[in-house]
Amino acid sequence: MRQSRTHLTRRTVSLAAVVALTCGLAAAPPALAVGEGPGYGGNETVNTSILRTYDELVAELKTQDAKQQAMELEVIGQSVKGRDLYLAKYISDPDNPTILFLTQQHGNEQLTTEGAVEFIKHLGTGKTKGVLDGVNVLVVPMLNPDGAMGDVDFPLDDYIADGGRHLTRYNANEIDLNRDHVTKIQPETRALHENVMSAYDIDYMIDLHHQGARSERDGELVSGSILYPTTPNVDPDVLEGSKRLGAVVFDAVDPTGWGHLGKYVGGTAETISRNGIAVEYGISTLLFEMRGMSDHFNEDYVLGQKSNGYLIKQTVTTLDATTRAISDGSISGADTSFWDTLAEQNVRGE
């Protein structure tokens, strides 16, 4: 994730600059290659109609709130276009350690939200019995609903996906919310900071994103990549917590048949949540960038729905494993040495 503060529209910048502004690619993409993995490239359609709309998300959250005694649903603010922003919270004991899961700051990165909803449903079943006794869980799903619904004040005509709806990275003002964590000018970012970050004593945060579809580690396309805060201003103990959080995620995801994680290549800017929130609040943060976006104008970034199943599962696995490891205290013994050997991802062909 590059950290340019300059906001440019896609119509006025070179492809390389667009790539630099786009989640998950460290360099310009290669010429389009076709047929490697379940990726878009003419081999399958990218259809957004199977993704939950904002209204469907809200309906599901309200259904779960009515069903689950341990859950509380709260409105933390409104988007530029007036959509309510939600926090789903499970606070069994204010003295418990607390983890926050944040999804879809970038509106075109929706499978993380789909996974978060599945996780919320999962918390309402007997499968997680007792887990919530030892941990408080906060979930902010779809922080950027206007971008997710394509309800924005700039054109999306050249976006690729079919399905009656385009999804874009930016909020309705064409601002990247994940570059707004210092100034907090946008209503979505302000709501998050005022009514979540400042309002709760949070120990851990996972910020869930999607990156381009062509990142690989050790010659194999990744299912995702992870990274801890890399600003020099982060407290060493906070950084160590982030590395342990990453260790729990890596151990839960990478050994599965479908999981293959790389080390994300990211900058030091504190305008992005991974760095800024770690410094401002002393929260151990982890960035998780999953493979492929739900929609984009660049075909190297989008990923067809054939991959939805494992990417949603990757989110649920991540949220479940970290919640359990914090609840039972095993996170304190997580082995962070894998970070020393985990290869940074590269873009296939470069």
Contact residues toward Zn ion (CB under 5 A) are 23, 106, 109, 209
CB of 85 to Zn ion, least distance (A): 17
Residues with Cβ within 8 Å of residue 348, at least 6 apart in sequence: 30, 33, 36, 214, 215, 216, 221
Residues with Cβ within 8 Å of residue 317, at least 6 apart in sequence: 252, 253, 256, 259
Q: Based on CB atoms, which residue is closest to Zn ion, 144 or 322?
A: 144
Residue type, 291: R
- How many Å apart are CA 174 and CA 118, to the nearest integer? 29
CB of 105 to Zn ion, least distance (A): 6
CB of 236 to Zn ion, least distance (A): 27
* Helix extents (H) in the chain: 15-21, 54-67, 111-123, 145-148, 187-192, 236-253, 273-281, 308-327, 338-341
CB of 112 to Zn ion, least distance (A): 9
Number of H helices, E strands in the chain: 9, 11
Residue type, 75: V
CB of 104 to Zn ion, least distance (A): 8
Give the tokens for residue 127: 């499968």
Q: Based on CB atoms, which residue is closest to Zn ion, 104 or 128?
A: 104
β 98-103/204-211 pair status: parallel
CB of 14 to Zn ion, least distance (A): 21
Q: Based on CB atoms, which residue is closest to Zn ion, 109 or 300?
A: 109
Residues with Cβ within 8 Å of residue 206, at least 6 apart in sequence: 99, 100, 101, 102, 245, 249, 285, 286, 287, 288, 318, 319, 322
CB of 207 to Zn ion, least distance (A): 8
Q: Based on CB atoms, which residue is closest to Zn ion, 137 or 290?
A: 290
Q: Based on CB atoms, which residue is closest to Zn ion, 113 or 305?
A: 113
CB of 178 to Zn ion, least distance (A): 6
CB atoms within 10 A of CB 332: 11
CB of 1 to Zn ion, least distance (A): 7
Q: Based on CB atoms, which residue is closest to Zn ion, 97 or 107?
A: 107
Contacts 24+ apart (CB under 8 A), 122-130: 122/316, 122/320, 123/68, 123/70, 123/71, 123/90, 124/64, 124/67, 124/68, 124/70, 124/71, 128/320, 128/323
Q: Based on CB atoms, which residue is closest to Zn ion, 288 or 310?
A: 288
Q: Based on CB atoms, which residue is closest to Zn ion, 106 or 296?
A: 106
- Angle separating helix axes 236-253 and 273-281, nearest 10 degrees: 130
- How many Å apart are CA 89 and CA 95, to the nearest integer? 15
CB of 246 to Zn ion, least distance (A): 17
Q: Based on CB atoms, which residue is closest to Zn ion, 171 or 327?
A: 171
- How many Å apart are CA 52 and CA 107, to the nearest integer? 12
Contact assessment for residue 168 and residue 159, using Cβ atoms and an 8 Å cutoff: yes
Q: Based on CB atoms, which residue is closest to Zn ion, 21 or 80?
A: 21
Contact assessment for residue 317 and residue 234, using Cβ atoms and an 8 Å cutoff: no
